[in-house]
Amino acid sequence: MPDVNVTPFEIEVTTRHGDIVRADVYLPKSGDGPFPVLLGASPYQKKLRYLPVHNVFSFVEYGPMQMYLDNGYAYVAMDVPGTGRSGGVWNPISRHEGEAIHDMIEYVAGLEWSTGSIGMIGMSHYCWSQWNAARTRPPHLKMIGAFDGSTDMYRDWMYHGGIPIQTFLSTWLFGSVLLQHLGQGIPFEEGRKDQFVYDLLSHTTDDSWHRERSPFWELSNIEIPVFSIGAWGKSGLHLRGNFMGYERVQGPKKLLIVSAESFAATQLLYATEEFHKAELLPWYEHHLKGVDNGVMEEPAVRFYVKNENKTLEATSWPPEDVFESTFYLSGRKMNFVESLNDGALQQAASMEKQQGTTWKYPDPEWRAGVTIFQKDGTLNHVARVNTFTTEAFDEDREFTGQGVLNLFVSSDQTDLDLIVKLSLVRSEDKPFMGEKVSQGWLRASHRAEDPELTSPMRPFHKHDKIDPIEPGTVYELRLELMPMSVLVRKGDRLRLEISNQDSLIADTPMTHWYGDKVGSDTYHHDTQYPSRLILHERPR
């Protein structure tokens, strides 16, 4: 990130909890003020703001600060309690932390250089901070620009479907927080930063510890304007949160889903002035300066359609014109791709009697998770997983909205994990290739659904207790697929991939702890047990 042309000064406030928290203030070089304020809060140490935008520094998530200074905004960069220059205990995404941000907002609103109109800014963890502070309803917080941020910490990333995250936890916690503090001469123990990993891994169900760290449960408190922006490439971390945030907040709101297909691409997009000038700056101008620029007359929902390279509009999510399309799993050999079973995904209900796909794990050929290396060095992510593939489509079809996999399963174990991916295989692709369209996860012992929050197209699992399965007994599991939008063109195929292990290459960094799983699972697909994938489809 290019350095800004002003020198910041530090402010501090004592929160309602007695913590002394500090922030750096950047004021526009020209103009006398007072100024509307953009506030970003994170544990990533405000003193490291000078670092460039690069995936090596994945925690640089401020956005183009100089552009906002040039447009007459003050920028406040805050270290949350227990991190950087702020005292107290690090208690990430907790309500305690949200209240500390609340107190900083209200303090800043009363300073002479501030107009008292505060908006929040920043992506990823900074977006977590936006949801977190907004649920506490600071009187001077006028709007949030919630780019790329979870709302339900248990379901959105800590425990996907009840399965604990492994790789991201270590790269985020150590790479972005703990080692960066140690590198700045701040011990792990200061602010109790070293304890978070133990707390996280000791709370395996969605108990009160997780609930306090999930703004999801208080999103209906938010009545200020919210611009929720997600990226298709972050389906394993933040995407679900942006949809849930948009759905549950009560004030004026808009939803935008952008095309960025990776963590690095999302970070780079957020750093560009072009994106902010086109999307976020107009929101800040309208809600913090009162500029009548028509931003609230724009469509409620906009979303990028994969494989069409086009952004479409809708009045709701899912779009109002969706209908349900069902694809049944079948043991019929497709003779299409090398996989453990090479099964079929078909729109006619299966007529098979007592059919199922049985496999043993761990697979002896797995190398980087499920990924193998072919003789020519090519990576193959599907050769050692279970696949169910459609025939080549005979016309263009758009699948936009939610998806659910109703899968009948049995095992010789007392639990099983499902790690599921839906991929687009283009007509010009080799059979083992594919682009991820959606994904989902579920541990069978977490199968119980919350009847108040679940729906036919989006199961919402309680995750409140561990309920083992009986070996040999068939269970119907309903697995939530992340929101999606893709155009499957004539000649293309959809492929469902099922395993209990990730690719440590294709799925990084959102990979899961494999544990000590050894056994045999069966996915049933016959007239008695009609396993099926149901997708929202839009007319073309």
* Tens of pLDDT, residues 192-246: 998 998 899 999 999 999 999 999 999 999 999 999 999 999 999 999 999 999 9
**382 and 270 both lie in a single domain:** no
Helices 125-134 + 95-109 axis angle, to 10: 80
**242 and 182 both lie in a single domain:** yes
CB-CB neighbours of 393 under 10 Å: 15
Q: CA nearest 224: which of 293, 130, 149?
A: 130
Q: Could you tell me the residue range of the domain that residue 383 belongs to?
A: 323-537
* 493 is a domain residue: yes
Q: CA nearest 123: which of 101, 143, 144?
A: 144
| Residue labelled with tokens 């447009």 | 71
**235 and 331 both lie in a single domain:** no
How many CA atoms lie within 13 Å of 539's alpha carbon, on the beta-carbon side?
2
**400 and 272 both lie in a single domain:** no
**287 and 327 both lie in a single domain:** no
**76 and 220 both lie in a single domain:** yes
* 308 is a domain residue: no
| Residue labelled with tokens 């016309």 | 395
* Amino acid, single-letter form, for residue 445: S
* 186 is a domain residue: yes
* 1 is a domain residue: no
Q: Which of 254, 281, 298 is the last residue of a domain?
A: 298
Which residues does the chain have with pLDDT short of 70?
1-2
The pLDDT, as a whole number, for residue 1 is 43
Q: Provide the domain count of the chain.
A: 2
* 4 is a domain residue: no
* 98 is a domain residue: yes
Q: What is the reported pTM?
A: 0.97
For 525, phi and psi rounded to 5 degrees? -155, 90
* 453 is a domain residue: yes
**271 and 361 both lie in a single domain:** no
* 303 is a domain residue: no
The pLDDT, as a whole number, for residue 30 is 80
The pLDDT, as a whole number, for residue 352 is 83
**391 and 520 both lie in a single domain:** yes
